Amino acid sequence: MEEENKIYIGNIDYGVTEEELREIFKEKGFEVKDVNIIRDKFSGRSKGFGFAEFENDEQVQKAIESLDGHELKSRKLKVNKARRREPRFEKRGGFKQFRR
């Protein structure tokens, strides 16, 4: 996914599926290229946030304005433009190691 045409969606109820998010976008008149809810790699449980990708920046701005604060399953979504993921440092074996 390209960050330029991607939004972050936070405060998602743990039971919400990617298909339900797609439906919300469709109801609001948006066509998304991709929707991805981030899940824990061990349990598979939702982490409560995800991303959606659009065709162009105009759609991104309209989606942010339309969906930020939208209530879904008694939770208000937090929607903004996605930022590039920053590299993190991790502790392993008593020293910090750069993780890509």
Domain ranges across the chain: 3-82
Mean pLDDT, rounded, for 56-80: 95
Strand ranges (DSSP E) for 1-100? 6-10, 32-39, 46-54, 71-72, 75-76, 78-81, 88-92, 95-99
The average pLDDT across 87-95 equals 64
Instruction: Give residue 3's pLDDT.
Output: 63
Residue 2 has pLDDT above 70, yes or no: no
The answer to whether residue 4 scores a pLDDT higher than 90 is no
CATH of domain 3-82: 3.30.70.330
pLDDT tens readout for residues 35-54 = 999 999 999 999 999 999 99
**Please, what is the angle between helix 18-27 and helix 57-67, to 10°?**
100
pTM, two decimal places: 0.80
